[in-house]
């Protein structure tokens, strides 16, 4: 499989190349040259497979040429062997139409583990036998950071610098990152928002002062391998609910548009998806864009679902690329305009082409209300991000005979204060996170200025000599 950049001006790479590169050299995001497609019979034959065997089946078309099926299986076994549930991503029924897809049974209690446990294995595999080292530079609104750090802490040849918005993530999220004291892990709290951190990361990729000495890569969902691994659980859920004979709708708590884009890819691959509901909090740029064409950035408002306090949704670029006929120069011009003006308009025609996506927005009361409904009506404690998804699922106009699956993206214990406020229940942290509140923390607080962050990374990166 070959991959091309959404901005049409970077070398085409194979799977190994895009995994190690993270972002394309023209600032675009890598996508497969074409979407692979399974027939109905092929999808039916996936029923009953274990999660690992299903993952190999779904991901093989994307990894062809870089990994054999046996190698991919070995990596999946290592990645998913650390999950605390035998099904890896179990489904829980709420009522006659609604299900939760629990994606938080990995080591750091959020859906990010599903992709990042595999990405850690992929880095190791692709670096083995070479003299290369990688410097991961990532931005997190709380969950990607801990999942990425868990996946690479202590590994040789990989060093990680993770930027988070200072004082804007939960105490559990922060400690899951800052108490990992392995020498290859560096946490930086920046005075600013996740969007500021994400913009710095993207700038770093094309900064000659950085990439002349460091081999920089990404663990955010700008890295194609992240999205690829997230496609699998859409197949897992739909197959359990009757696919390919029966259509299923998904409601996805959305920030960077990565998770829901993985659902879009699953549909391109032939999975019968009725609708994808893009569920946002009050940082609602995607809801505004899909419902009325207004993709314009306003300030980020802190909410009880901090991981979704995002306005610039990186993966939306991948959708725009498809909606505009996969013409890189059109997408490049559109993104350049957006980067300068902070806004773009989606024409009625583009919105029509995107009408496979529905969208919804939940404010603070609606988020708390969804947590209460899940607890009082269905006996389920859910986190605020999942609650936003559930609000979207329950308010979208989906026919009563179509199952609606809400992606449960984080364990409620990561957001104990918000859950307790809404339901009166303070969820306990699962044993697998250990004595988080007794461990020493280490992180650097830096101003939200690109030069300060770049200089810190350049002076603290341990292995430039290996490149």
Ligand X SMILES: Cc1ncc(COP(=O)(O)O)c(C=O)c1O
Ligand Y SMILES: N[C@@H](CCOP(=O)(O)O)C(=O)O
Comparing CB distances to ligand Y, the nearer of 161 and 373 is 161
Cα-Cα-Cα-Cα torsion 406, 412, 415, 416, nearest 10 degrees, comes to 150
Closest to 391 in 3D by CA, of 418, 416, 365, 410: 365
410 binds, among ligand Y, ligand X, none (CB under 5 to 8 A by kind): ligand X
Give 38 or 144: the residue with its C-beta nearer to ligand Y: 144
Nearest distance from residue 462's CB to ligand X, in Å? 28
Cβ(461)–Cβ(455) below 8 Å = no
- Binding site partner of 216, from ligand X, ligand Y, none, Cβ cut-off 5-8 A by kind: none
Judge contact between 162 and 148, C-beta under 8 A.
Answer: yes
Q: Choose which of 5, 63, 121, 144 interacts with ligand Y (CB under 6 A).
A: 144
User: How far apart are CB 107 and ligand Y at their closest, in Å?
Assistant: 15
- Per partner kind, with CB cut-offs from 5 to 8 A, the member of ligand Y, ligand X, none near residue 257 is ligand X
Number of residues that bind ligand Y (CB under 6 A): 13
> Which of the following is catalytic: 2, 64, 112, 240?
112
- Output the DSSP codes for 20-35: HH-S-TTS--EEESS-
Structure tokens at 99: 């299900």
Nearer to ligand Y, 59 or 177 (CB): 177
| Residue pair 198/174 in contact by the 8 Å Cβ criterion | no
Nearest to 137 by CA among 231, 206, 79, 229: 206
- For ligand X, the closer CB: 102 or 126: 102
Give the CA dihedral 31, 33, 39, 43, nearest 10 degrees: -30
385 binds, among ligand X, ligand Y, none (CB under 5 to 8 A by kind): ligand X
Nearest-approach distance from CB 131 to ligand Y, in angstroms: 28
d(CA 95, CA 7): 44
Binding segment toward ligand Y, per CB under 6 A, in 253-261, 287-295, 366-374, 433-441 = 253-261
Q: Name which of 388, 40, 99 is nearest 233 in CA terms.
A: 99
- Residue from 66, 221, 367, 406 touching ligand Y (CB under 6 A): that is 221
Residue 270 CB coordination number (10 Å): 18
Instruction: Please pick, from the candidates 27, 90, 107, 258, the single residue that binds ligand Y as defined by CB under 6 A.
Output: 258
**280 forms part of the interface with ligand Y (CB under 6 A):** no
Q: Which of 307, 380, 386, 406 binds ligand Y (CB under 6 A)?
A: 307
Backbone torsion region of residue 461, taken as left when φ is above 0, otherwise alpha when ψ lies between -120 and 50, otherwise beta = beta
Binding at 409: pick from ligand Y, ligand X, none (beta carbon under 5-8 Å per type)? ligand X
Separation CA 83–CA 80 (nearest Å): 5
Output the DSSP codes for 277-315: EEEE-S--HHHHHHHHSEEE--PPPP-S-GGG--SS-TT
Partner in contact with 145, chosen from ligand Y, ligand X, none, beta carbon below 5 to 8 Å by kind: ligand Y
**Least distance to ligand Y, CB of residue 388, Å:** 12
Minimum CB distance to ligand Y smaller for 163 or for 290: 163
The residues facing 358 across adjacent strands are 277
Question: Pattern of binders to ligand Y over 180-219, x per CB under 6 A?
Answer: --------------x-------------------------
Considering only CA atoms, which of 114, 106, 68 is closest in space to residue 226? 114
The answer to whether residue 112 is catalytic is yes
Query: 215 is written with which tokens?
Result: 């081999």
Which of ligand Y, ligand X, none has residue 140 at its interface (CB below 5 to 8 Å by kind)? ligand Y
**Is residue 141 a contact point for ligand Y (CB under 6 A)?**
yes
Q: Pick from 139, 143, 126, 147: which is nearest to 79 by CA?
A: 147
Least distance to ligand Y, CB of residue 133, Å: 22
Token readout for 230 is: 């997230």
Interface positions with ligand X (CB under 6 A): 110, 143, 221, 253-260, 307-308, 385, 409-410
Nearest one of 23, 1, 45, 8 to 325, comparing CA atoms = 8
Nearest approach, Cβ of 114 to ligand Y (angstroms)?
11
Provide the minimum distance between the beta carbon of 199 and ligand X in the complex, in angstroms, as a whole number: 15
Which residues of this chain interact with ligand Y, rule CB under 6 A? Answer: 140-145, 194, 220-221, 255-256, 258, 307
Q: Which residues are catalytic?
A: 112
């Amino acid at each position: 499989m070959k991959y091309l950049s959404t901005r049409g001006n970077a070398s085409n790479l194979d799977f190994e190349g895009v995994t190690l590169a993270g972002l394309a050299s023209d600032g675009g995001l890598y996508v497969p040259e074409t979407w692979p497609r399974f027939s109905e019979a092929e999808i039916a034959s996936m029923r009953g497979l274990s999660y690992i065997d299903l993952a190999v089946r779904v991901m093989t078309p994307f990894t062809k040429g870089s990994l054999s099926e046996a190698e991919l299986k070995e990596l999946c076994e290592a990645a998913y062997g650390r999950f605390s549930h035998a099904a890896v991503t179990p489904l829980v029924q709420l009522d006659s139409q609604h299900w939760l897809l629990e994606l938080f049974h990995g080591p750091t209690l959020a859906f990010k583990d599903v992709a990042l446990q595999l990405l850690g294995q992929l880095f190791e595999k692709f670096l083995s036998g070479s003299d290369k080292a990688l410097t991961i530079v990532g931005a997190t609104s709380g969950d990607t950071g801990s999942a990425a750090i868990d996946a690479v802490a202590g590994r040789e040849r990989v060093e990680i610098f993770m930027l988070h918005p200072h004082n804007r993530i939960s105490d559990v999220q922060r400690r899951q990152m800052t108490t990992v004291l392995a020498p290859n892990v560096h946490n930086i709290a920046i005075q600013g928002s996740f969007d500021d951190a994400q913009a710095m990361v993207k700038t770093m990729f094309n900064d000659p002062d950085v990439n002349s000495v460091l081999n920089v890569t990404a663990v955010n969902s700008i890295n194609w391998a992240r999205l690829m691994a997230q496609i699998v659980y859409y197949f897992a859920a739909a197959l359990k609910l009757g696919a390919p004979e029966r259509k299923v709708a998904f409601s996805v708590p959305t920030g960077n548009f990565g998770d829901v884009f993985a659902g879009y890819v699953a549909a391109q691959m032939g999975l019968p998806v009725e609708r994808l509901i893009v569920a946002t909090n009050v940082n609602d740029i995607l809801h505004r864009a899909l419902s009325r064409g207004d993709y314009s950035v306003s300030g980020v408002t802190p909410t009880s679902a901090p991981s979704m306090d995002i306005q610039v949704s990186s993966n939306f670029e991948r959708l725009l690329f498809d909606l505009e006929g996969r013409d890189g120069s059109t997408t490049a011009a559109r993104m350049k305009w957006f980067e300068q003006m902070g806004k773009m308009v989606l024409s009625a025609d583009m919105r029509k082409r995107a009408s496979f996506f529905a969208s919804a927005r939940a404010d603070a009361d609606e988020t708390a209300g969804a947590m209460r409904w899940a607890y009082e009506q269905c006996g389920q404690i859910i986190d605020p991000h999942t609650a936003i998804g559930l609000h979207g699922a329950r308010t979208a106009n989906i026919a009563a005979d179509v199952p609606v699956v809400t992606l449960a993206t984080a364990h409620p214990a990561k957001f104990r204060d918000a859950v307790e406020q809404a339901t009166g229940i303070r969820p306990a942290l699962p044993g697998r996170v250990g004595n988080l509140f007794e461990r020493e923390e280490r992180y650097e607080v830096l101003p939200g200025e690109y030069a300060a962050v770049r200089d810190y990374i350049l002076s603290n990166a341990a292995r430039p000599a290996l490149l």
